Amino acid sequence: MEEGGMVTAFRKRQINREKYGIEPDDEHQAEIDAILASALEVDEEDPMEDQAHGEIEQKFEKGESNAPFIETVPGGEETGNGDVHFEDENLGGYPDQEMDSESFEDDETVSDEKEKSFDEPQEQRFWRKKERSHRPFPKPIKPMAPRYLRSDNPAPEGSENWQSPWAQMRTYSFSPCVFPAMIGAVSQDAKPGDWVKVYDREGNPFGAAFYNPKAKVPLRVYTHGDVQPGDDILTQAIDKAIELRHEILHLPERTNAYRIINSDGDGLSGLIVDRYADVLSLEVHSLGIFLRLNKILAYLHERLGTRYEVVQVDDKVRHNEGIKNVPKPSLRYNSVKILENGVKFEVDFSKGHKTGFFCDQRENRLKFSSLVKGKRILDLCCYTGGFSVMAGVLGGATDITGVDLDENAIEQAKRHANINGQNKIKWVHADAYTYARQMKLNNEKWDVILLDPPKFVESREEEFEGWGRYEDLNKLGISLLNPGGMLVSCSCSGLLSLNRFEDILIKAAHRNNRRLQIFDVTGAGGDHPIYSNCLESRYLKVLWTRVF
């Protein structure tokens, strides 16, 4: 080969390294030598050389060979690491040496982009690899812009015989929440908050729903089949919900604080009701429910023997649903005392989150207390101290520290400890991340760590950031555990799947050079049921692990 052929060999070698990014491996040296021996027997212009290149490339593309493609040239010696050593430095063909420009024209397989790469330094020219962008998780998909129900859809043929007011489904879906893209035509007499009879796209009766054209969820379906729309549907659903709590779960025997209605999970989309002693705490997300609130409250008080109520409607819900004039709380006092598995708590409706107290963690608090006897516990994001207090009263933990950034929550946690005689619990008003980092610097260690942070993923736009926050918190928690210690990690983000949450915890452990032993996975209690047509309402995830 002449100098031009030599350069061609260098360039082909460079292309293959960039294309496959594989370093030479002694294990495949015999295969490399055989390929090189056959390649050296032909002249540069011999078409067999291109055939040899093609065969090797096909092997790589099919995954039949892991051996890297390396081509040597006369006058060169294989060094064993994929490079070629030349006794004559002038044979290297580096940019600062003179070359015949015509030699580049012989190689028609190299693109102009590759020719430009010869202006780069040697180490970049021969050993450059493709840079791979790395993200800790896949980039979340941004949601589509909100879509509103069209009012100009023509009425289908035969709809004059339908029961009015009516709405027709464009697509089949048994979800209780029907979005604008899933809705076809709606009768002209249907008004916001009205009951409507729902028909499928063939014109067959499909169910009964509340209608609100300007809401993000224009149809909330409460029952399916050929049924007569009316408020009797609500009372029947309330009866079924009470039956589950009282006759199946027997919750009043263990506590006077539990969820009576769990929205879609009880067939009452847009309504959440928690009971705290003789007070009902309600969260409303539907205009249709809000317009019938007086009737619903009267029926609930009659069935449950309660007397007071607190109604909450989020500001965004008010705007989207068109809800006005939310009633003020009818309370004798701003707080009420409750009993849970023999432990006393106080619910302050003037300061509490959402409905006032997290009833969904009741079973998990009891389970946690059974695992911590004689242990040193750190409760990060403790809120009002439910886990910590129960671990002290029922669990017999020897050392408990609760940390939360909410000053009001810490004050409430102190009251919970006092009314249960748990004055040895240490309460810290601090950011969980900052506190954990400082304890790591202090070389502090715990036997059990509980992580129950607030919802980090509020919307699809916040997914990626929320995943990172969960990972950071769990990495810090794991770093503070003794070998064999227990980590209980919770997530109340409905948009975060259980599989994704597991991946986050596993990654957090592996980055600390630790390993997780997952021995249980739980969620909300039985008073937070889930219907088969609305599995996305399963929001709470609790992973019970040991860390080694």
Q: Residue 106: what residue type?
A: D
pLDDT of 300 > 70? The answer is yes
Q: How is residue 42 written in tokens? A: 């032909």
Q: Which of 201, 224, 247 is the last residue of a domain?
A: 224
pLDDT at position 469, please? 93
**E strand or H helix that includes residue 17:** helix 3-20
Long-range CB pairs of 60-67, under 8 A, 24+ apart, other chains included: 60/20, 65/28, 65/31, 66/22, 66/25, 66/28, 67/25, 67/28, 67/31, 67/32, 67/35
User: Per residue in 420-465, pLDDT tens?
Assistant: 999 999 999 999 999 999 999 999 999 999 999 999 998 888 888 9
Q: Indicate whether 217 and 236 sit together in one domain.
A: no
Region 169-173: mean pLDDT is 90
Instruction: Establish if 458 belongs to a structural domain.
Output: yes
pLDDT at position 537, please? 86
pLDDT at position 17, please? 56
pLDDT at position 460, please? 82
* Beta bridge mates, 205: 199
Instruction: Establish if 444 belongs to a structural domain.
Output: yes
pLDDT at position 303, please? 96
Asked if 387 and 452 count as a contact pair (C-beta separation under 8 A), the reply is: yes
Region 180-188: mean pLDDT is 92
Average pLDDT, the chain: 81
Instruction: Establish if 341 belongs to a structural domain.
Output: no
Q: Which of 294, 321, 348 is the last residue of a domain?
A: 321
Alpha helices in 225-326 (DSSP H): 232-243, 287-291, 293-304, 315-321
Give the side-chain half-sphere CA count within 13 A for 187.
Answer: 20
pLDDT of 81 > 50? The answer is no
pLDDT at position 142, please? 54
Q: How is residue 238 written in tokens? A: 């309330």
Region 378-396: mean pLDDT is 95
Q: How is residue 197 written in tokens? A: 């009879």
86: pLDDT confidence band, cut at 50, 70 and 90? very low
pLDDT at position 351, please? 73
pLDDT at position 157, please? 84
78: pLDDT confidence band, cut at 50, 70 and 90? very low
User: Per residue in 90-144, pLDDT tens?
Assistant: 433 333 444 444 443 444 444 444 444 444 444 444 444 444 444 555 555 555 5
Span between the terminal Cα atoms of the chain, in Å: 61
Q: Indicate whether 177 and 211 sit together in one domain.
A: yes
The CATH code of the domain that includes 190 is: 2.30.130.10
Region 465-479: mean pLDDT is 94
Instruction: Establish if 219 belongs to a structural domain.
Output: yes
pLDDT at position 285, please? 95
Q: What percent of the chain has pLDDT over 90?
A: 62
Give the side-chain half-sphere CA count within 13 A for 87.
Answer: 4
443-477 burial: b if 16+ Cβ within 10 Å, else e: eebbbbbbbbbeebbeeeebbeebbeebbebbbbb
Which range (40-49, 209-218, 467-476, 528-537) has the least confidence?
40-49
Q: Indicate whether 111 and 164 sit together in one domain.
A: no
Asked if 39 and 8 count as a contact pair (C-beta separation under 8 A), the reply is: no
- Number of compact structural domains in the chain: 4
User: Per residue in 228-269, pLDDT tens?
Assistant: 999 999 999 999 999 999 999 999 999 999 999 999 999 999
Instruction: Establish if 335 belongs to a structural domain.
Output: no
User: Per residue in 44-64, pLDDT tens?
Assistant: 444 454 555 555 555 545 555
Q: Indicate whether 184 and 77 sit together in one domain.
A: no
Asked if 393 and 341 count as a contact pair (C-beta separation under 8 A), the reply is: no
pLDDT at position 502, please? 95
Instruction: Establish if 447 belongs to a structural domain.
Output: yes
Q: Indicate whether 381 and 492 sit together in one domain.
A: yes
Nearest to 182 by CA among 152, 157, 218: 218
Give the SS3 label for residue 185. strand
Q: Indicate whether 242 and 118 sit together in one domain.
A: no
Q: Indicate whether 246 and 205 sit together in one domain.
A: no
Q: Indicate whether 446 and 485 sit together in one domain.
A: yes
Q: What percent of the chain has pLDDT over 70?
A: 71
Print the domain residue range for 246.
Answer: 232-321
Q: At a CB cut-off of 8 Å and minimum separation 6, what does 285 contact?
A: 263, 269, 270, 271, 272, 313, 314, 317, 321
Q: Residue 449: what residue type?
A: I
pLDDT at position 354, please? 59
Region 362-377: mean pLDDT is 96
Region 274-280: mean pLDDT is 94
Instruction: Establish if 141 belongs to a structural domain.
Output: no
Residue identified by tokens 């409607």 is: 313
Region 4-20: mean pLDDT is 53
328: pLDDT confidence band, cut at 50, 70 and 90? confident
pLDDT of 379 > 60? The answer is yes
Instruction: Establish if 271 belongs to a structural domain.
Output: yes
> What is d(CA 150, CA 364) in angstroms, rounded to the nearest whole number?
45
Q: Which of 296, 321, 346 is the last residue of a domain?
A: 321
pLDDT at position 110, please? 41
pLDDT of 356 > 70? The answer is no
Q: How is residue 338 written in tokens? A: 């409750």
Nearest to 299 by CA among 238, 245, 361: 238
pLDDT at position 512, please? 92
Q: Indicate whether 191 and 305 sit together in one domain.
A: no
Nearest to 450 by CA among 370, 377, 547: 377
Q: Identify the residue with better confidence: 523 or 19.
A: 523
Q: Indicate whether 197 and 260 sit together in one domain.
A: no
Q: Indicate whether 195 and 249 sit together in one domain.
A: no
pLDDT at position 54, please? 54
- Please return the burial class of 318, using the count of CB atoms within 10 Å of its CB with bins 0-12, 13-18 and 19+: middle
Q: Indicate whether 248 and 203 sit together in one domain.
A: no
Q: How is residue 515 written in tokens? A: 């390993």
> What is d(CA 163, CA 444) in angstroms, rounded to the nearest whole number?
69
